[in-house]
Amino acid sequence: MRKRNLINKALAENEQRYKDLAEAGANVFWELDEQLNYSYISGDVEDLCGLKPAEFLGHYPPDLHNSNSSLDVDWELFKRITATKQPLKNFTFSLRDRHNGVRIFRINGSPLFNQEHKFQGYRGVKQEITAEQNLYKKIAYQATYDDLTGLLNRREFNEKLKNSVQKAQKYRTESVLCYLDLDRFKIVNDTAGHSVGDRLLSELAQLLQTTIRKEDTLGRLGGDEFGLILEGCSISEAEQVCEQLIFAINNYRIKWKNVEFDVGVSIGMVGIAQQSIDAAELLSRADLACYQAKNLGRGRVYIAENNSSEIDLQQTQMGHIANVSQAIKENRFYLVKQSIKPMVDDGKQRLHYELLLRLKDRAGNLITPEEFIPVAERYGVITIVDRWVLKTTLDSYPRYFADDKALVSINLSGASINDERFTSFAIDLIKKSQVPGDCLCFEITETAAISQISHAQKFIATMKDLGVKFALDDFGSGVSSFGYLKNLSVDYLKIDGSLVKAIINEDYDHAIVNSINEVAHLMGIKTIAEFVENDRILKRLGDINIDYAQGYVMGKPVAIAS
């Protein structure tokens, strides 16, 4: 009786153990005897092998399943483990089902010993882990590859680049890093939508992949930017490869409805050599070289090694705008005012100043706008700067300009006039300030206004409802289309300084300035000549009836406190 009770207790414990395992997701419970033959099995065995549970009993697993071609099991490993009475830990095998799909299973088993430490067999479970493995593979893929293009993602590309740098340092190998940025991609996105843009990126990724060698590494760095590592390649050889890539992309076309789009690519290149210090530094230099390729007309290669001083300058410029918010917090931005004076002063005209932005580095050295504004525009932080300028102007006006009810002009970037959030910000700020709208003048460049003319028109109309005036800056430096003036409600036309400075020596420039002035007056627009540096220029401008002058001869910029 006592023996039967012990057996029943053991059976109950086994059942509870199997129940616990079932709740943990086990599919099959099995036992082997001391000869390693099946002595017990339950669960979804028919689904796995097509055998009923009774057909397992008394058989050695490798012998029973060896003829099943749909099973992929490392039976030699199984034999080595069980022969030494070691636990079966995460022993995996796969099964090809009738739909030709692959299912993956995991076996865990423990050797059994009696009180005298005599081997009694194995007991364990088999679980299907197909979903788990697929999820793992998916996560591993997403951690390494870009979903859209199938190329390496930025993180994995950076790891490959680090390896290339280490290899160059250790073995003195020569490789090249290329930074590729598509030209005119935004036109496709804006016109045909992101789905067509995504298809373009995917197709171009495959085109690039087929153009390079197998040993090279191509990755998507984000948006329409790609990275390429050309292993064991000189700069001159890499330049030839890049020219092939440019040619291939120039000949690529994508169709949407009845429209056919073409794109191009600009490439920045930097060598990976023994003296290379840091992968991040290399990528930054390649990015800056790519930016320079775009500045020089796009669709070309720019080699950082051949133009290191220009790249160094760009890196310095990037450092100036790396943390705009911090520069604002540390009061390193400040404004200066410069007079805009009438050529004929009747004593009745209001004072007019342009407020110009300046930046100091942490050592107190002056950073000119030419050094930081272009980079701030490129990296999308210029609107933060514009917000600071507008707020500081409105805060400063009561102290410095209110007594004379002066007109103050400030410059706005194209990014800000195209940003509806900036428009809302400006409206709210002006309405809450003590500054009348007609005491403000926003200056926008000719190229910024014309490149996004519908946005410019909307912004100008909105601000003019508050009384704000507008000046079209740098006129004559861009397309200089008088036709656009009919569509832009501006109060002032600022003639580009390069034309003004040449007016006394170049008849051609004199004729251009004169024609701009005449057309502006016909349209009821006042003209302002920039960069008036001496009395000779001032007299020549007076001869053609320019309305206002701005420059050193009229007054140098003077700092105002914020």
- The residues that are catalytic are 224
Identify the DSSP state of 496.
Answer: P
**CA distances for 51 relative to 32, 45, 47, 55, 100, angstroms:** 17, 7, 8, 6, 20
Decide the pairing of beta strands 264-272 and 301-303: parallel
Round to whole Å and give the CA distance between 168 and 233: 12
Q: What is the DSSP string of 287-341?
A: HHHHHHHHHTTSSSEEETGGGHHHHHHHHHHHHHHTTHHHHHHTT-EEEEEEE-E
Of the candidates 94, 128, 117, the one whose C-alpha atom is nearest the C-alpha of residue 25 is 128
Which residues make beta-bridge pairs with 335?
A: 357, 560
Round to whole Å and give the CA distance between 18 and 29: 7
Of the candidates 372, 188, 183, the one whose C-alpha atom is nearest the C-alpha of residue 291 is 183
Q: What tokens appear for 264 in the block?
A: 């191009």
Sign, CA dihedral 246-250-253-254, equals positive
Identify whether the C-beta of residue 187 lies closer than 8 Å to the C-beta of residue 216.
Answer: no
- Residue 169: CB partners within 8 Å, gap ≥ 6? 274, 276
Round to whole Å and give the CA distance between 199 and 185: 12
Biggest CA–CA distance in the chain, Å, is: 128
**CA distances for 174 relative to 84, 164, 287, 288, angstroms:** 51, 9, 20, 21
Phi then psi for 364, rounded to 5 degrees?
A: 90, 5
Identify the DSSP state of 306.
Answer: G
**CA distances for 507 relative to 458, 510, 550, angstroms:** 38, 5, 21
Round to whole Å and give the CA distance between 352 and 529: 14
As separate numbers, helices (DSSP H) first and strands (DSSP E) second, the chain gives 22, 24
Round to whole Å and give the CA distance between 281 and 273: 13
Q: What tokens appear for 156 in the block?
A: 């994995």
Q: How many CB atoms lie within 10 A of CB 272?
A: 24
- Residue 306: CB partners within 8 Å, gap ≥ 6? none
Which residues make beta-bridge pairs with 31?
A: 40, 123
Size (the chain), residues: 562
Identify whether the C-beta of residue 532 lies closer than 8 Å to the C-beta of residue 503.
Answer: no
Round to whole Å and give the CA distance between 435 and 396: 10
Round to whole Å and give the CA distance between 122 and 41: 12
Query: Which residue is listed with tokens 């005897």?
Result: 33
